[in-house]
Structure 1
Amino acid sequence: MEQTFTVVVRAVEEAADGVRTLWLARDDEGALPGWEPGAHIDLLLADGLERQYSLCGDPADLSAWRVAVLREPESRGGSAYVHERLAAGDTLQVRGPRNEFPLEGAERHLFIAGGIGITPLLPMIAALHARGADWRIVYGGRQRVSMAFLGELEQYDDRVTLWPQDELGLIDLPGLLDEPRTGTRVYCCGPGVLIDAVEAACAAWPAGSLHVERFRPKDGALDGPTTTFEVHLEASDLTLTVPADRSIAEVVEEAGVEIFTSCREGTCGTCETGVLKGVPDHRDSLLTEDEKAENDVMMICCSRSKTPLLVLDL
């Protein structure tokens, strides 16, 4: 089980128009858990709110974590809480870090960021730059004033291409991605419409070239038939019925088995569970198609079953 602990908001900064940065430190002044580029943490906010934010500071500095939070116009409560209620000196519970978006080695790296999607990519490009690796990033946003961390990116000179939409229109994905390139890994994070377009543009690229992280489920990912099935929890020696209107996670929790969940929509990876028998009906927006085909893990917050029985490692 992942550790949940208390942190203090050491500082609050405005990183751009609508983007607030939090610096978080342990309340006991000890070292924070280590992390690698691509990791995120869960913030356990008031009123039962849990939200995931990418760590965007320096992995070598375990005295404080940095996260950046976009003020969503249609906030479900998380970003509004951070922007309107959190202040320096406040304490909150956090869980993690967890990394479902790791930086993998390659001859070259191409990063495509949209808006707040710059956050998990910042530590990646810093790590690659320190190694003298071959990389570049294209960073798009509505306008320059809404694009966070522009000052930090200046140090990388022409490896960074800024693409404000009000000045240049949409990012030229055909120009970036029409020609598949072996030895290049593409990392993309940002709004769903950008990720969908990048996935389509990379369809002809070698398998495994594209890595994405979503803040929201793919369109239609949570849709599909909802039938009743059974789950057997191997370690707990329990067999439970999952009705059509309940998730596996809800039924497992109701049975008194401790699990961690956060997003409840298949994007964060908190509830990833081993599958010992049966075929999951994967409805998450996190696992790759190859990982889904292996059927050895599933996200029990949203995915269901294609077989009458699933045996889970719980």
Structure 2
Amino acid sequence: MKRVAVLMGGASAEREVSLVSGKACAEALRAEGYDVTTIDAGRDVTALIAALDPHPDVVFNALHGRWGEDGCVQGVLNLMGIPYTHSGLLASALAMDKPMAKRVFQAAGLRCPGGRLVTREEFAKGEPMARPYVMKPYNEGSSVGVRIVRQGDNVPPATSWSYGSAALVEPYIAGRELTVAVMGDRPLAVTELKSKTNFYDYEAKYTDGITQHLVPAPLPAKVYDAALAMALAAHQVLGCRGVSRSDFRYDDTKGEGPEHLYLLEVNTQPGMTPLSLAPEQAKHAGISFRALVSWMVENAQCDA
């Protein structure tokens, strides 16, 4: 019987979501016959190493956000020689560093919004670009801290920014919210997200009833296929493995062609909660949740 340790919780802004993801994955893996333990993995490396002694056969990394998704815990597991699910150190670090990931995407010819890092000092001198634009932390996940600055907003955006000394600022892309999960070398489906909030923010992602998931997304065939192809290309150009999820904006206010599709970011450890998109797309593709997490365990790797 393969021994699997599920890392969950952690110390990031996504702790509560990670706990739900980890619980669901642990239950599914036990149902599949694995010997499963769960570990609430904070930033104490010594405690994590002790919790992983004796070494499990595989670590299922259900952490989200900083420390768990940005290459840090991947580096620890590499040093320990323990295979783990999801992407390795480099792909994890690249994807979490949004400005760096944007450079990689652009170099590969993948269409994404322009943008740059803007410091608090720069904001104090004036707005970085014409409204509307998007501000986001450059190294958080799950839309934590993302805000849209629109015409008529009368609050200076830098006054309440609490995610470091700089923000990634991008032009706002109008249109529809899309997402594609990739499993190995297979893009699973395209989902359109219709939120009752202003956009698909953290609340919309994890509050039942706020967002409608349309899978398969009602799109022109060329746009649907382009989203699948771009998600796979983004997964590959970052060097991802296991399961990832790419988020897009499709600006159909300017036409119905794939040239209006923009890649926003890649999530190397997408949520595995009951509301999560990757399991939902896997189900659409005929893959049960238990089969999905089992596949992730059986395809776990280590960079060591």
Taking structure 2 as the reference length, the TM-score comes to 0.32
Higher strand proportion, which one? 1
> Which one has the bigger helix percentage?
2
The TM-score with structure 1 as length reference comes to 0.31
Which is greater in Rg?
1
Taking CA–CA contacts closer than 8 Å with sequence separation of 6 or more, which of the two structures ends up with the larger relative contact order? 2
